[in-house]
Structure 1
């Protein structure tokens, strides 16, 4: 006898998916947007006009073709890709994270990352049916080397993620600890993905390590995005590493995953990289000024940052968040993301005027 048929179409959707919360994007209309680590500076008007002309000439009636390969070559030149390495494109880093999980979906495989960290590492594991192991950072957001090493030995994860700098804590992990954990992964054939989303604002890149010590980093993939470069709306990420590894993951990439319009925007930006480098320099200066101003506020603890954001602990995160929003400023309340983030807000570094408004409003909001 056949089982009774459930006529509800939701029954065809995995129960764990139905139990999930979608990635939340805050409503920002009418607010100073300091919640998403975006570059606050638009293109200069003359470059806007030039880009408009370029996009108007793009053959949007055709599928993406050779222009995508030109973007790859441009990025390879931009990063000075080491010999023996390859680069692949993603529709933002999020797609690359999904493809990495898909490629490592072997029976019993798992992913591992320190927590708090970027939520997409754990989400990609869940969506792919992989186990995820989170290892808490120390109280000052450093890697807990002993705990990381123990977890890696116990679970032998297919991928260990190390964000460099980390999100949402904004700090850069100790390179010596990173080296030892990367060596630990090599012992059981695990991959390490170093996520450099915030590289334009950091004092060090792991790519220098990959150039200087290729054998020690033969199982390391480095991931970046053009979002923090200044193209958050364009949605282009890229992954680079030893050619044999990148070649396998590139097989999973959907055809035409990068649109011709996005590729043309990225090529245009790389042709004017000095403009974005200047903007990143201003953001770094503003970050330091914001940190100094935060240090003068009573009851506010600002943590060291090498990104375009600053994590702060306040007496009452929800009250401060609501107070800032009432004054027209939108930040990110991360206080419930992880116990180590109790009473913490994440502040994106804005323009000089936006940062001044933030400090003035924060004084009242707390």
Structure 2
């Protein structure tokens, strides 16, 4: 056994780093990014704002100006506190580390965002996934039974869920909150596309935190997420936050975006409108080996199931179009693909290519 093998944790050696598919020169529809980018009319103004950044200084301990801008355009309860992270991914990690000792349980319905389980593993917590129903709705009896049996320290509820796009009902969230002995995190990464939020009720219960990110709105490269909860929860989670975790360029860029938030809301509306068009078009796809099953989405992506999904995925990639094959993620996702909602032009390019890919796969099998 080598020195490295003796030193690095066995569970780290047994896994792989998070894989990001190469996308140079591709139509990238695999990562739920906003395809529209910063509105062109604002780019010069943003450049001037970034020019003023004091890169020779550490960021201020609290991003107070950023928080003020956030509260001005987001319905955060006045008495709630805000904690910023380097993307919501970092905040998920911080929440688990703040709450869990080795062996403690983190729980979520599955399939869901894979990083809940990954960060649980790195904190030596035990992740318990509760299978959704075949239509990706919540299996409430199973969820409540698992909560009772495992007494989780943290329950994550993606609202709406990734990769399914399905949203919980608010009454279901309340039922889980009332049954959970620990913290319930309502992860609203796709809130801009969902027309539903638990934010207004975050202080109504003693064990709730709402998590959001700017990544889906068009600032994925800035890497900023934020958690909203009662002051007591934020105070404790803040203790495990690395100092200066949100850099000055991110703070300036996101504050600038918040001051021009109407432009980003308009982009989100365009994507919501295109989601309806894309969903309807996917339901018309023809395949000789069975129907295409399309799941209604409340996010900025659409999940659909078809025969030979992996072969269709590869055929699309050969055409320069990158979607996400999620069929290996969970048995309920067998033969499923997930596509990001994009502009009308890019959506039509994808729809033409996916039908061509279906036909090519069918002809090869004949």
Normalising by structure 1, report the TM-score.
0.94
Deviation at 1:295, TM superposition (A): 1.4
What is the rounded CA distance, in whole Å, between the counterparts of 1:19 and 1:115 in structure 2?
22
Deviation at 1:52, TM superposition (A): 1.1
1:336 to 323, 328, 332: 328
The answer on 1:228 being equivalent to 2:220 is: no
Give matches, 1:1-366, under 5 Å.
Answer: 8-65=3-60, 68-106=63-101, 108-185=103-180, 188=181, 190-210=182-202, 214-215=203-204, 217-298=205-286, 299-366=291-358
Deviation at 1:88, TM superposition (A): 0.3
Partners of 2:38 and 2:218 within 8 A in 1? no
Task: Point out the more displaced range, 302-311 or 47-56.
Answer: 47-56
Deviation at 1:303, TM superposition (A): 0.2
Q: Aligned with 2:63: secondary structure?
A: helix
Could you say if the C-alpha distance between residues 7 and 349 of structure 1 is closer, same or farther in structure 2, counting changes exceeding 3 Å? closer
What is the rounded CA distance, in whole Å, between the counterparts of 2:249 and 2:138 in structure 1?
40
Partners of 2:98 and 2:237 within 8 A in 1? yes
The count of residues paired between Structure 1 and Structure 2 equals 354
Deviation at 1:7, TM superposition (A): 5.9
What is the rounded CA distance, in whole Å, between the counterparts of 2:67 and 2:195 in structure 1?
25
Normalising by structure 2, report the TM-score.
0.94
Runs of 4+ in 1 over 4 A off after TM superposition: none
Deviation at 1:73, TM superposition (A): 2.3
Partners of 1:67 and 1:263 within 8 A in 2? no
Deviation at 1:208, TM superposition (A): 2.8
Deviation at 1:296, TM superposition (A): 1.3
**1:3 corresponds to which residue?**
none
What is the rounded CA distance, in whole Å, between the counterparts of 1:260 and 1:358 in structure 2?
37
Partners of 1:67 and 1:260 within 8 A in 2? no
What is the rounded CA distance, in whole Å, between the counterparts of 2:17 and 2:135 in structure 1?
29
Q: Which runs of 5+ in 2 are unaligned?
A: 359-366
Deviation at 1:165, TM superposition (A): 0.4
Deviations 1:118-147 (A, max 9, x none): 011000110000111000000000110000
Q: Aligned with 1:249: secondary structure?
A: helix
Partners of 1:114 and 1:143 within 8 A in 2? yes
What is the rounded CA distance, in whole Å, between the counterparts of 2:123 and 2:8 in structure 1?
14
What is the rounded CA distance, in whole Å, between the counterparts of 1:39 and 1:86 in structure 2?
28
Q: Aligned with 1:233: secondary structure?
A: helix
Q: Which runs of 5+ in 1 are unaligned?
A: 1-5
